[in-house]
Amino acid sequence: MGELEKVSGPGDLRGLSPKRMRALAAEIRTFLVEEVSRTGGHLGPNLGVVELTMAVHRVFSSPKDSIVFDTGHQSYVHKILTGRTDFTGLRSRGGLSGYPSRAESDHDVVENSHASTAISWADGIARANQVLGRTDRHAVAVIGDGALTGGLAWEALNSVAGSDDRRLVVVVNDNGWSYSPTVGGLARYLDAMRTDRNYERVLNWGKNTLRSGGLPGRMTYDALHGLKEGLKDVLRPQGLFEGLGIKYVGPIDGHDLDALESALRNAKGFGGPVILHAITEKGHGYTPAEHDAVDHFHAVKVIHPETGLPVAAAGADWTSVFADEIVGIARARSDVVAITAAMPVPVGLGGMQKEFADRVFDVGIAEEHALTSAAGMAFAGLHPVVCLYATFLNRAFDQLLMDVGLHRAGVTIALDRAGLTGDDGASHNGMWDMAMARIVPGLRLAAPRDEATMREALREAVAVRDAPTVVRYPKGAVGDPIPAIGRDGVVDVLARTAGDGDARVLVVGIGPFAATAVEVGTRLGRQGIGSTVVDPRWALPVPEQILDAAARHDLVVTIEDGVVQGGVGAAIRDALADREVAVDVRTHGIPTRFLGHASRSQLIADLGLRAKDVARDTAAAVAARMDRRAAVDQIP
């Protein structure tokens, strides 16, 4: 048996010799490469935290000690060490989540995958332990240097600072990356620590001397650690963290199990808040990842494990259409700039960054700062395009409302991965944005249905100088073009079908559900129900043309890729009520609940958002309406 087969829980690590621990680390890496290459997932971050996660579990006793992983995509090793080694269905329905999950294990504390939250969580747990007199347990936050660029992390550190009796350990996993290379002053500060040659020589001398048995007298690794602490002010920059009043240990080689374990034990024994700074390499131990210069295999699709190359080449997707169009806009408009929150390549800004490096601003994992900074840029004469995953706009709603919206700032927000994203689970479904955007006065939101309307919407958005604009689009491949048979203002008419009776249905398809709406119209026509299918390219505020069309129909059916309560369909219903137009509106979208990880197609089927589901519901509504009319006609 290999070492991995003998591990069913964290306790199994504590009896292993250093040699067996190193063997286990190698087996875990092999396991990760083999399994994740079959399913896709976050490979690079997990390869980088193998030894770190092993050492944390060896020193602390989960779940009594709470271990909180920031941006939980780095928790695969944690899952393995806590008995979850069936990765065959990773990120698929019925399989393991790609993030920590309380439904899977008592060892998992925080389920969401939004960055910079771990220190706040751990501080809250440590405070509760303190109030309840639980002096036998610790809270451990494992947070990357990229997540430290987020403001919430520093709010938490400010709260932790000066407290000398909370049992809290913050492990900074410093690999110089978030998704992309970590940016900003903090990154430069940590890089200075990481690359200080004198400091590195002292640390290496100590490790090598210890292993050769050549330390004088009774000196131990802990004594060497004390020597290093005494020399730290000479050999590295002044301690930012200790300046805040938090005990600092490091930097430690994050792939040296002995050093990690010793440092963690020192931190655990301190009795108060401690920051342990570990230097790791993203993708460590896997040659294709180590040689990758883009993101160290941050997230992969299905790949060949030997080479790291994708099994199937990806087709054109929404992000690549945005990437191409934003470069064209930047060439035509020198005032257009772009802002990203640590994800220039994933949101499609790689090409613009290469051609216009001085006009793409990576602010780190700081969506709030991105929006308010954009408002400032708009005031000063630029037109910023803020590029985010739709789910991360949630974090900056106050700034969208009070900094951008209130000041009628000409800011465009490009929302990638809008709607159902599926396999990343509840925290990554970009389903809240339209309901949030609807309540921002003056904001205009476009949901393109295909490549042509995507390019058109972006150019129209950056032409707006006196209000915020949002262009939202889904994850994955762009569908076939859906030509309009007519246009009325911002509303495209996509199809008309004649019916046998006098019932007329207005089918409104929002964004990627325009194709579904067209199919709904076709299915209704087969049942003798007349319909008009429209796409409000600019869905918010509700176009007057939609309201005019609704007044000419007997039933309005809306289909959208967002929460249905407070969404675009609800906005249409409310606007019709304000006009005192008596027409039924049936809304189809995502219910207000958190959705487990599954494929997009599975979720669409579950939620009754397939064309056949909507058509069936619509036909039933038409029949009920006709029955009601017939009953009224029979009244004497």
CA trace torsion 258, 262, 268, 273 (10° rounding) = -100
Tally Cβ neighbours within 10 Å of residue 629: 13
**106 in a labelled binding site:** no
Residue 520 CB contacts under 8 Å (≥ 6 apart), including other chains: 507, 509, 531, 533, 557, 559, 611, 614, 615, 618
Catalytic residue among 51, 367, 519, 560: 367
Catalytic residue among 166, 228, 236, 282: 282
| Contact (Cβ atoms closer than 8 angstroms) between residue 56 and residue 254 | no
CA distance 312 to 491: 37
| Contact (Cβ atoms closer than 8 angstroms) between residue 66 and residue 125 | yes
Specify the pairing of strand 504-509 against strand 555-563.
Answer: parallel
**367 in a labelled binding site:** yes
Question: Does the active-site annotation cover 612?
Answer: no
- Edge-to-edge strand ranges of the sheet holding 412-416: 360-362, 336-340, 383-389, 412-416, 469-472, 444-446, 538-540
Specify the pairing of strand 555-563 against strand 538-540.
Answer: unpaired
**37 in a labelled binding site:** no
Residue 512 CB contacts under 8 Å (≥ 6 apart), including other chains: 419, 447, 449, 473, 474, 479, 561
Closest CA to 106 of 86, 78, 77: 78
* CA angle 181–182–184, rounded 5-degree value: 130
Tally Cβ neighbours within 10 Å of residue 368: 19
What letter represents residue 79's amino acid? K
Question: Does the active-site annotation cover 367?
Answer: yes
* CA angle 56–188–199, rounded 5-degree value: 65
**161 in a labelled binding site:** no
Give the per-residue SS3 of 509-536: ECHHHHHHHHHHHHHHHHCCCEEEEEEE
Tally Cβ neighbours within 10 Å of residue 552: 11
Count Cα atoms within 13 angstroms, Cβ side, for 123.
22
H-type alpha helices, 252-341: 257-270, 287-290, 318-332
Please give the backbone phi and psi of residue 481, each rounded to the nearest 5 degrees, phi first.
Answer: -60, 145
Tell me the β-bridge partners of 472.
415
**165 in a labelled binding site:** no
Three-state DSSP class for 445?
A: strand
CA distance 388 to 342: 9
**146 in a labelled binding site:** yes
Query: What token pair was written down for 126?
Result: 């440590």
DSSP3 helix / strand / coil % (the chain, rounded to 5): 45, 15, 40
Question: Does the active-site annotation cover 79?
Answer: no
**221 in a labelled binding site:** no
**429 in a labelled binding site:** no
Catalytic residue among 79, 232, 395, 449: 395
The structure tokens 């590295």 sit at: 236
Annotated binding site for Mg(2+): 145, 175
Annotated binding site: 73, 113-115, 145-147, 175, 286, 367
The residues carrying an active-site annotation are 282, 367, 395
Annotated binding site for thiamine diphosphate: 73, 113-115, 146-147, 175, 286, 367
